[in-house]
Structure 1
């Protein structure tokens, strides 16, 4: 690669900050701009927002100014999608990588999918969705599946205690803090697991499986005592965790499953054990189990693991033909350039 690809970072929350830190000093990528959602971040240096010192790039909320930079790609890591912004970026000919996996299909509705696909065609740009789960774990499962002569079921599990990821806004949207009898709670957690349905559809397509339907089930865990995590508080008896599964069904049998055990704290009823990471199981011949967990007992950084599959895919996405693409339509995404790279921050 003769020159580095020009990238605009879209927001600097937890995942966006991890993306910035992953791109600064990258031999193939250069941050040339940043979109700030919060007014207090406008005018500040992006490196300082990411906690690594100034890099000479100032955050702005001026979309036209960012597009005028003629970036090759936008790392779109906003909390919720702004479809008008996405449409403007794509039709300007700027590729997009994002961790909003529901954009891989019709998770936000067929109208949104068609609108963004049309913007891709008008601008000659690509839109790629990934992350760790859903996203990279699905790609890992497909790679492992090549070892098998028969596959009966594929199961992916994210099993974590979440207090190390201080995000009250996200947790409240998932129904954490509600009474488990609140009629709104089941719909809230299912809506926040909608991206798993797209992950299952992508995997089913890659494995040539026709699905009859996708089912969702979940159960709640409640706090056994009042809890104070610093960034939010819960009272005894309120929802503090979930255990559930999104299952792709074929001829009445679950064949692809995205499972989760998410706990805020360790004192819940039921008090499910956690793996502190990800477990992939393939039932078949041979049966295979793969665990991704932090090395040496360290805390698993969900922000880094979510952001970097998008960052590392940027060169492939820039080279991809126009349209909405997923990991089955790209060359295998790896940590290219990272093995001998100097540490940043």
Structure 2
């Protein structure tokens, strides 16, 4: 089979997982890589991803990457560069991304319209996914086909995050602040913007008109000074959250994205964690789906975030131009992976 040519856009935690997922993939080939950090320019992409060299050097030259005529860019930057996104799309190159706020107007109506117009000019598609938001919602939509009536849909991500070494992200979420800090609620809500897009995508898929989307959260405080190796917390500082993003229809919560995120387990309140995802449909019949790792290992968050986007690349390349969501595509699955020859 002719492999689809893919450019990986940055090699942070999620980006390196994407590279490892594509190397040896029967349908995909990494042909280029955008480096955000100057110290990564010129280095082999395999080396950056912690595997053997693959003969592809990272660059910060956007023009050179587009000249490779890739079929798709796997865009996994820490923050979006809308000029880059527009340039890629209007050049005719499709994008899959784990930045779920790009699924709708999360960055503003003007940004969505700008990117949609770039898709039309280039005949390209933009698709946002991940595990949650993203793949968990695809799973609950599949389960909804069993029902004759649906009263409420809820998705819960419940995890101890201490195995995910990302101090920059945690500090931006307000971890380490005093629970009474007035900035804390706004910081965690800002980091849940992608879930608001997930609510809108689910509402569209289930043909529900929403009146509003509400956000509530509470904070857990560390019971003792703790050194996690990659960051430290002091007693009394924010160490976790429990919250709900709710889509409201006729005064009632009908679609909910829930989260329990904890950095360790020594905090008050000390909410239990599922170490995975709990998807529930209240209705006839009621349905519960649990996504958890096999055995005692935890999910690798970088892998489970990257691969729903990577595995969607063939469908996205074949999709009509525009911003497409998982309800717009043929069902994304691990096609080819049972016969994959691992070259890592």
**What TM-score results when the alignment is normalised by the length of structure 2?**
0.99
Q: How does 1:1-345 map to 2 (within 5 A)?
A: 2-345=1-344
The CA distance in 1 between the partners of 2:80 and 2:19, in whole Å, is 19
- What do the CA deviations read for 1:67-126 (whole angstroms, capped 9, x no partner)? 111100000001110101101100111000001111111000001001101111111110
Which ranges in structure 2 are unaligned for 5 or more consecutive residues? none
Aligned equivalents of 1:29 and 1:343: distance in 2? 13
Cα offsets for 1:25-69 (capped at 9, x unmatched): 111100000001111111110001111110000001111110111
Q: Secondary structure, in 3 states, of the residue corresponding to 1:221?
A: strand
2:162 partner SS: coil
- Structure 1 residue 339 displacement after superposition: 1.1
Q: The residue matched to 1:256 in structure 2 has which SS? A: strand
How far does the alpha carbon of each residue in 1:252-302 deviate from its partner, in whole angstroms, 9 at most, with x for none? 111000000000011010000000000001111111111000101111111
Q: Would you say the 8 A contact 2:25–2:342 is kept in 1?
A: no
Deviation by residue 1:286-321 (Cα, 9 ceiling, x = unmatched): 111110001011111111110000000000100111
> Matches of 1:342 and 1:277 in 2, distance apart?
28
Number of residue-to-residue matches in the alignment: 344
Q: Is the 8 A contact 1:248 1:257 kept in 2?
A: yes
Report if aligned partners of 2:220, 2:269 keep a CA contact under 8 Å in 1: yes
Distance in 2 between residues matched to 1:284 and 1:143, nearest whole Å: 15
Structure 1 residue 344: Cα displacement = 4.7
- Give structure 1 stretches of 5+ with no counterpart: none
* Cα shift at 1:342: 2.9
SS in 2 for 1:60: coil
TM-score normalized by the length of structure 1: 0.99
Q: What RMSD, in angstroms, separates the aligned Cα atoms of the two structures? A: 0.7
Secondary structure at the aligned position of 1:295 is classed as coil
3-state secondary structure, aligned to 1:245: strand
Question: How far did residue 343 of structure 1 move?
Answer: 3.4
Q: For the Cα contact (< 8 Å) 2:156–2:279, is it kept in 1?
A: yes
